[in-house]
Amino acid sequence: MKLALIGIGQAGGKVVDALVDYERQAKTGFVVDAIAVNTARADLRGLRNVPESRQVLVGLTRVKGHGVGADNELGAEVTAEDVGDVLSMVDDLPVHEIDAFLVVAGLGGGTGSGGAPVVARELKHIYTEPVYGLGILPARDEGGIYTLNAARSLQTFVREVDNLIVFDNDAWRKTGESLEAGYGSLNAELARRLGVLFSAGEGDGSGAVAESVVDASEIINTLGSGGISTIGYAAVELDRPKRGLFSRLSGGKADAEDGGDSTNRITSLVRRAALGRLTMPCEIAGAERGLVVVAGPSDVLSRRGIERARTWLEDETGTMEIRGGDYPVGSNFVAAVVLLSGVYDVPRVKELQAVAIETQRDMLAKRESSAASLDDLISTGDDHIDPLF
Ligand SMILES: Nc1nc2c(ncn2[C@@H]2O[C@H](COP(=O)(O)OP(=O)(O)O)[C@@H](O)[C@H]2O)c(=O)[nH]1
Ligand SMILES: [Mg+2]
């Protein structure tokens, strides 16, 4: 599936950078273009794989390239003012070659949190291709303002995109690691999951043909229109010597195992992927749709295994709409990606919604009480102070 990636803000840019990095190594061609948008010049300079020619600095007249702090309203405003610059960069790319847009942002900050929904809305307005979002939730200990930004942005962003894939930093942070090193490994993990998913159907250039290919339309149908989704992943290294020239020439089937092993390997991988740590932890029962992608050398991609895994996931989620397929790669690993879309039972999202409601109520109450005390101040006020109101 061919994507145009647009990263907004620091996290958005870094995750796009990691996706391009993954794609360069896997060479599957799922990234047609990658654009980074920011209000902070320094954050753009930190990117390794998005060249300056594909970077857009927005809000320059207002914030002079210094960023918006964690003010997501300002992030939204300046992005809206300069969205034409982003769109003209998108306009350069061969949009007819892409299957979808992916707009990426950390929702707890300012630029990405405010700007990503603005860019998504504009893209949807102009193009017929689906616009997906990838939203990163802050860790709980980042503080109130990040939680509040994320709560608000999540509500807006999910409305503006065809589907919002969510990654929760809180579920993935590691203790005892520096923030930067921690983000690096998180971004690589996320890039691997998305990379396998979106590479499916693109091939690895080896010309291998999948038994039951996953194509772009299956990913698009699974993401559907509306709602949020989460991604699981599991991989195992094959216990066999790397295939050398000889076995490749002899068809590579000489060391093929019997079908039962391949079937069991796939069913257990898919279980681990779906029941292990998801990009956003949630109850998988009640998901509306699912997609299973199994990647690995073609001689171990058992169609039977994928069929069984699909049936298992149907039972586990309670939906009949589970798609599945394989993706042959010349590798010594077999990996399973499970995309679950239309998930509702998500504790973290409920928590954020509650925070948003509570804060709004608090703010109203504060506004009322400060208006009341202002009235008091004016009516009982000292005569020497000229009320300015
Ligand atoms: N996974 C991940 N999360 C990040 C990264 N950098 C920042 N974040 C998260 O994104 C949130 C927003 O930060 P940032 O992207 O710097 O804000 P912005 O530049 O104003 O959009 C933070 O609160 C973190 O939760 C990163 O490289 N990877
Ligand atoms: Mg930052």
Nearest ligand 1 atom, CA 186: 1
**Closest to 190 (Cα-Cα) out of 271, 313, 102:** 102
Domain around 276: 227-341
Q: Is 59 within the bounds of a domain?
A: yes
- The number of domains in the chain is 2
Ligand 1 neighbour 138 (Cβ under 6 A): yes
Please write the tens of the pLDDT for every residue from 197-232.
999 867 555 555 555 778 899 999 999 988 999 999
254 by Cβ neighbours in 10 Å (0-12 / 13-18 / 19+) ranks as exposed
CA of 313 to the centre of ligand 2 (A): 38
Supply the pTM of this predicted model: 0.90
Q: Which ligand is nearest to the CA of 68?
A: 1
Same domain, 194 and 270: no
- Residue 14 assigned ligand-binding role: yes
Over 50: is that where the pLDDT of 27 sits? yes
Please write the tens of the pLDDT for every residue from 122-142.
999 999 999 999 999 999 888
> Which residue of 43, 183, 187 sits with most ligand 1 atoms within 8 Å of its CB, as the best mutation to test the pocket?
183
CA of 110 to the centre of ligand 1 (A): 9
Q: How far is CA 312 from CA 302, 323, 346, in A?
A: 15, 12, 21
Ligand 1 neighbour 72 (Cβ under 6 A): no
Q: How far apart are CA 142 and CA 129, in angstroms?
A: 35
Query: Residues 34-43: what's their mean pLDDT?
Result: 98
CA of 177 to the centre of ligand 1 (A): 16
CA of 265 to the centre of ligand 2 (A): 41
Q: How far apart are CA 287 and CA 274, in angstroms?
A: 12
Looking at 325, 341, 357, which one is the last position of a domain? 341
Please write the tens of the pLDDT for every residue from 62-80.
999 999 999 999 999 999 9
Query: Residues 181-200: what's their mean pLDDT?
Result: 94
Same domain, 186 and 274: no
The Cβ-side half-sphere exposure at 263, using a 13 Å CA radius, reads: 8
Tokens of 109: 């900050």
Nearest ligand 1 atom, CA 38: 19
Same domain, 246 and 304: yes
Is there a contact between 274 and 232 (Cβ–Cβ < 8 Å)?
A: yes
**Closest to 7 (Cα-Cα) out of 111, 156, 146:** 111
Instruction: Look up the CATH number of the domain holding residue 327.
Output: 3.30.1330.20
Q: Is 386 within the bounds of a domain?
A: no
Same domain, 179 and 270: no
Q: How far apart are CA 152 and CA 199, in angstroms?
A: 32
Q: Is 357 within the bounds of a domain?
A: no
Task: Report pLDDT for 246.
Answer: 47
| pLDDT over 70, % of the chain | 90
Same domain, 175 and 39: yes
Q: How far apart are CA 227 and CA 341, in angstroms?
A: 7
Q: Is 327 within the bounds of a domain?
A: yes
Ligand 1 neighbour 183 (Cβ under 6 A): yes
Ligand 1 neighbour 11 (Cβ under 6 A): yes
Q: Is 282 within the bounds of a domain?
A: yes
Task: Report pLDDT for 285.
Answer: 95
